[in-house]
Amino acid sequence: MDHMIALIQKAHEGDEAARVQLVEENVGLVWCIVKRFYGRGVDPEDLFQIGSIGLLKAIDKFDMSFEVKFSTYAVPMISGEIKRFLRDDGMIKVSRSLKELSYKAYLAKEKLQEKWNREPTLIELSVELQVDKEDLVMAMEASGEIDSIYKPIYQSDGNEIQLLDKLEENEVQEEKILNHMLLKQLLESLQCDERQLIYLRYFANKTQSEVGEKMGISQVQVSRLEKKILKNLRERV
């Protein structure tokens, strides 16, 4: 921990070599998070590059007063950077030309199907649109990937669940795990009586008066101590 903090301190002071060393020593952490996003249609190397940006942000923003491990702080930063990329650029963004070609192919398919009473072949579609069949396949596959995340994967009693819903649900679960890790680190940094107060108030749902009775102090003292603890925790996050 001291070694990591010393490197971060040097990096904050402008030591580029320390910054590079921090990245090198946390490569495994980035790859560990990248593995969670395999199968999203994006090259793992690209995800690693995006995750590394999150790591650099964590290095630059890490506060020395944080009483948490750097890895605990860095994990949600790296994961968040990758999620933003997948949401905004990686998973559902397709070039305008491919979108236009896909739409034209859809219209041409409908027209020829009505005309011939059968579904046109790929070659017939490419001739109709005067485009290479390779380009047509690329456009149709790209469109299909986008469409597939909105297709139902389960339906019961009128309720429909899409693949996108499951992806978002998994991301929520991951966030809960990361938040739990951070909370665990924060609680471990508290003194015994502070940790007891937080447990009674927020995990056992006790009132301030009940907490005071349990800890042998007044309700006013509980209120003051609680405010102090929460203020310190917020400053560490």
List of residues 6+ apart from 7 with CB closer than 8 A: 18, 21, 22, 25
Q: For position 132, what pLDDT does the model report?
A: 80
**What is the domain-level CATH number for residue 124?**
1.10.10.10
The yes-or-no verdict on residue 53 having pLDDT over 60 is yes
Q: For position 35, what pLDDT does the model report?
A: 86
Cα 165 to Cα 154: distance, rounded to the nearest angstrom: 11
The total number of structural domains that make up the chain: 3
Q: Which of 92, 127, 161 is the last residue of a domain?
A: 92
- State mean pLDDT over 90-111: 69
**What is the domain-level CATH number for residue 81?**
1.20.120.1810
pLDDT band (50, 70, 90) for residue 218: very high
Q: pLDDT per residue over 117-152, tens digit each?
A: 888 887 888 888 888 876 777 676 555 544 444 445
- Expressed as residue numbers, the domain containing 138 is 96-148
Cα 217 to Cα 66: distance, rounded to the nearest angstrom: 29
Q: pLDDT per residue over 68-91, tens digit each?
A: 778 888 888 888 888 888 776 544
